[in-house]
């Protein structure tokens, strides 16, 4: 289970980095930095996407 949590964190980090690098999704950094509402929403979305991708892969095995 810890392996899966680590995998989710790694994929979420990669997804978040890609989203932050895309100016069409994330044009400006808020004044609150990483603790701002927009940043927190992106982090949550990245985690959900990572979990969904892992679930899809697990279901195909």
- pLDDT above 60: residue 17: yes
- The fraction of the chain above a pLDDT of 70, given in percent, is 75
Average of per-residue pLDDT across 2-31? 77
Domain count, the chain: 1
Q: State the Cα–Cα distance between residues 19 and 44, nearest whole angstrom.
A: 12
* The pLDDT value given to residue 19: 78
The DSSP symbol for 23 reads T
What phi and psi, each to the nearest 5 degrees, are found at residue 24? Answer: -75, -25
Structure tokens at 58: 């697990």
- pLDDT above 70: residue 45: yes
- Averaged pLDDT score across all residues of the chain: 78
Domain residues for the domain of 19 are 2-60
Q: State the Cα–Cα distance between residues 27 and 42, nearest whole angstrom.
A: 12
């Amino acid at each position: 289970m810890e392996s899966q949590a680590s995998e989710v964190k790694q994929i979420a980090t990669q997804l978040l980095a890609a989203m932050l690098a895309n100016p069409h999704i994330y044009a400006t950094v808020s004044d609150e930095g990483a603790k701002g509402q927009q940043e927190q929403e992106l982090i949550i979305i990245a985690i959900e996407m990572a979990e969904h991708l892992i679930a899809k892969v697990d279901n195909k095995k």
